[in-house]
Structure 1
Amino acid sequence: MQYLNEIKNKHITVLGLGVTGLGIVRFLLSQSIQPYVVDSRENPPGVDWLNQHAPQLNTHFGDLENAALSACDMIIISPGLSLKTPAIVKAINAGVEVIGDVELFARINSKPVVAVTGSNGKSTVVTLAYEVLKTAGYKVALGGNIGTAVLDLLDGDFDVFVLELSSFQLDTTRSLKTTSATVLNISEDHLDRYDSYQAYIDSKLSIYNGAEHLVINADDKQTHPVSRTLAPQLSFGETQGNYHLAQHNNEAHFMVKDEAYLPVSALAVVGKHNYLNTLAVMALLSPFAITKAHYKTALAQFNGLAHRCQFVGEFNGVKYFNDSKATNVGATVAAIDSLAGKHENLVVIAGGDAKGADLEVLKPYIEKHVKALICFGKDAKDLVALSAKGHLTNNMSEAVTLAKQLSKSGDTVLLAPACASIDMYNNYMQRGDDFVQCVLQGLS
């Protein structure tokens, strides 16, 4: 950790005291570095821990304009804060280096890294990759935008790191070297944060910088690197790419470079999106020593993640799925497309904060696959306006009650909001739990 010795005498500010910021503070303290801690909130969530474990640190909580950020040498910023915040812009213009925790990790780490970004499917892909590597005998760490902050992983003796990275994290990362990296897919999201959709795409594509192997989505040209690179490229897709799906002996298979590698039935969870995620994992892990037997074991034991097309139950012949993690239009399209193959009559519950996204993309999928679209939340009226099948409600309880009334045996009720949850919930997990509770109420 030679880099840490180089910065020990620098004036370092940790900006943001949420989960990520607290992880940064803990790590710096473990390296005998005493950071200046700043948060725009008067009472940030990590302040109690700070008062108990590091009361000696200088802090500033409140208006960032009064935080003297331009006087420090380096700011390590939490991903929830925009680089366009006036006080941060002022510091950058004054010559202050602004990085994120992933960038600090990158400057310290020397072990192999598998990195994943994309608008949808990131958490599922990194979790499955983690399980496959673990099954193959690797000491593997999982972190980033899922579960554990990256700096908290550095005190473990790991062979490989599997990281989920958001566009916000990539915006403050420049030095990350990866064994393999992918952009799974790109659809409109976070347009309240970026100047344009292209700026969001560029942020995602930056994950390829420093990658030894690039994994691209053959079905989504937006995931392809803009500049030419000498790094080897592998692709995955539904019917094209080095890793794709095809029929073999009257059964759908995962195809690896035209070899029928494994039947899709080897995977415990179903749905086209899950099959594509599995193909992405196979491509990402191609540089590692993993056998077909390892895949058979890991795929058979993988039951998916909560709030990602999670099967809630079947009541009166109606199936209920919780895809609260579908916080953007692309994720909702993927959920509808995946379930529509087996379930012709979908009752979809959607709504929340669309974050400026173009909801019109949903129209053809609603017309083709959806029996009723039930909406609530901040942008519910915009969703209802998409189709004559739209219904406006006030909350989840009303939405689920109406879904039960409109569905009949053989139908599927799908929560796939196409929106963020922040208008009515603390996070998508709370929204998903609310859906499950409303579904089970009076049915169990």
Structure 2
Amino acid sequence: MNLNKYNKIGIIGFAREGRSILNYLEKINFQGEVYIMDRDISLEYPDTFLNVSMLLGKTYLDSVFDLELVFKSAGVPANTPALLEASKKGVEFSSNVNLFFAINKKPVIAVSGTKGKSSTVTFIDNVLKKSGFKSQLVGNIGNPILDYINADVDYFVFEISSYMLESFQGEIDYGVFTSFFPDHMDTHGSFENYKKAKFNFFKVCNKLYVNDFNQDVKNYLDSNKIDYISFADANVKFFDGKLLVDNNIYDIGLDLGTEILNNFIGAISCLLNLNIPIKFILEGLKNFKKLPCRQEVFVSKDGIRFVNDSASITPESTIAAVKNFKDDLEVLILGGQNRGYDYSQLNNLIIDLNIKHVLVLPDLNTIDFPFEFKSFENLQDLITYIVDLDLKSGTVLFSPGGASYNFYKNFYERGIFFLSSIKKHGLIS
């Protein structure tokens, strides 16, 4: 892709992806004008030799019609009226990801799905490295993919989000699809738009491994006659702390939870297809550590388990966590933005399990849940209440089931605040 044929290039959204585009333009010694466009008026002028103008604040998109090519960061909604109008008037749009795929010649293993992407790409990357391959973890997990376009690797392991898939152009060598249920509808505008973006993944992968338990997923794959390997049909199964591969049973000696292990069925199937020896897969399983804010377990000196599952931003992910810890679940903490999701299945599970203490933070505390719960306006007061409960055993599960943006920058910041709060009160060391 020859970018030097353009005179005016725009970068919409100047966080990690936007800065990655600017870095690439520096590498190719771009000779034209660059317009950085962002709503954040506090952004500082970048240290660059390029001819850069900053367009910030509420009117940051006003000049988009004057540009020839615009790189849009994944988090900027594609259905923004100004962008739709600019496209009609001939402005070209691309992205950090699309530019990478226009240039890259190395094989890519990509993971998509509503939940489980980060854990799955981390596992694949770890196993490849243990096997002696040079691999690079990129994408939504935090490493802009374009930054590594010249990396000396055998494989890129790519976490690809619905935002990236929305306008994706390229070809993926191996794809693993973990799960599917409603999410990010506030950004995509509707469930149908979210589904359309996610299902674009199925059309761009040469070899595809899919958890097709969801009927929408299965119907789409079947109606479009897309070849794939279903997790259900794979020669890989987990049971009772063991791994079954092609009728061979291996003792892995740990239980990472049903959700994670189910996602790893697709990952292991893909790795076996790459002829990765089973010994490295077993080593990867035995050494795998749950990622921060994803059902992280901390045990108090009295044996009470505190589980940080702040990454849970949908009722479905909270359901998975509740099922994993149901045997001794004493306290369930819910909260976060109310984005209009259907909580009926979670409601039924809470009622069926008769969870003793359900504590709810804003904005979910405005929902008329059909079970008894206690409402709190902030996490500090909620933690104080848990201290006063004087629990002697059991599990305290922080699995909010709602997005963090009403109080925090992201789910990670929310999870760190939860951990610091329970440490401050002496609940864990």
What TM-score do you get using the length of structure 2 for normalisation? 0.92
- Residue in structure 1 matched with residue 113 of structure 2 by the alignment: 118
Quote the Cα distance in structure 2 between the aligned partners of 1:165 and 1:346: 36
- Residue in structure 1 matched with residue 11 of structure 2 by the alignment: 14
Shift of 1:9: 1.4
Match of 1:304 among 276, 280, 290: 290
Quote the Cα distance in structure 2 between the aligned partners of 1:181 and 1:277: 12
Shift of 1:388: 2.6
Whether the 8 Å contact between 2:307 and 2:396 is mirrored in structure 1 is yes
- 1:329-373 CA distances to partner (integer Å, 9 max, x unpaired)? 221111112222xx3334111101132322223112211333321
Match of 1:93 among 81, 84, 88: 88
Match of 1:373 among 355, 358, 369: 358
Quote the Cα distance in structure 1 between the aligned partners of 2:211 and 2:224: 16
CA spacing shift, 1:132–1:246, aligned 2, 3 Å: closer
Whether the 8 Å contact between 2:136 and 2:155 is mirrored in structure 1 is yes
CA spacing shift, 1:335–1:42, aligned 2, 3 Å: closer
Whether the 8 Å contact between 2:134 and 2:154 is mirrored in structure 1 is yes
Shift of 1:44: 5.0
Match of 2:126 among 123, 131, 144: 131
- Residue in structure 2 matched with residue 262 of structure 1 by the alignment: 250
CA spacing shift, 1:313–1:243, aligned 2, 3 Å: farther
Whether the 8 Å contact between 2:252 and 2:286 is mirrored in structure 1 is no
- Residue in structure 1 matched with residue 321 of structure 2 by the alignment: 335
- Residue in structure 2 matched with residue 180 of structure 1 by the alignment: 174
Shift of 1:406: 4.2
Answer yes or no: is 1:221 the counterpart of 2:215.
yes
Quote the Cα distance in structure 1 between the aligned partners of 2:216 and 2:33: 39
Whether the 8 Å contact between 2:236 and 2:268 is mirrored in structure 1 is no
Quote the Cα distance in structure 1 between the aligned partners of 2:334 and 2:157: 32
Aligned length: 423
- 1:121-170 CA distances to partner (integer Å, 9 max, x unpaired)? 11100111100111111110101001210001113111111111110111
1:158-169 to structure 2, matched below 5 A, reads 158-169=153-164
- Residue in structure 2 matched with residue 36 of structure 1 by the alignment: 34
- Residue in structure 2 matched with residue 355 of structure 1 by the alignment: 339
- 1:373-419 CA distances to partner (integer Å, 9 max, x unpaired)? 1111223221xx22333110111122223234447333110110111
Shift of 1:58: 2.7
Shift of 1:302: 1.4
- 1:186-219 CA distances to partner (integer Å, 9 max, x unpaired)? 1221121233212212211111222111111143
CA spacing shift, 1:202–1:263, aligned 2, 3 Å: farther
CA spacing shift, 1:243–1:366, aligned 2, 3 Å: farther
Match of 1:109 among 93, 104, 108: 104
Structure 1 residue ranges without an equivalent (≥5):
none
1:286-305 to structure 2, matched below 5 A, reads 286-305=272-291
- 1:293-323 CA distances to partner (integer Å, 9 max, x unpaired)? 1112222221121111011223433210100
- 1:58-91 CA distances to partner (integer Å, 9 max, x unpaired)? 3322344663212222211011211121211111
Shift of 1:55: 6.2
Task: Please give the root-mean-square deviation of Cα atoms over the aligned residues, in Å.
Answer: 2.2
Quote the Cα distance in structure 1 between the aligned partners of 2:102 and 2:390: 54
- Residue in structure 2 matched with residue 394 of structure 1 by the alignment: 377
- Residue in structure 2 matched with residue 203 of structure 1 by the alignment: 197
Greater Cα offset, 290-299 or 132-141 = 290-299
Shift of 1:437: 1.4
Quote the Cα distance in structure 1 between the aligned partners of 2:388 and 2:301: 13
Give the match's secondary structure for 2:415: helix
Give the match's secondary structure for 2:185: coil
Quote the Cα distance in structure 2 between the aligned partners of 1:24 and 1:206: 24
Whether the 8 Å contact between 2:347 and 2:371 is mirrored in structure 1 is no
Quote the Cα distance in structure 2 between the aligned partners of 1:35 and 1:214: 41
Give the match's secondary structure for 1:304: coil
Answer yes or no: is 1:242 the counterpart of 2:253.
no
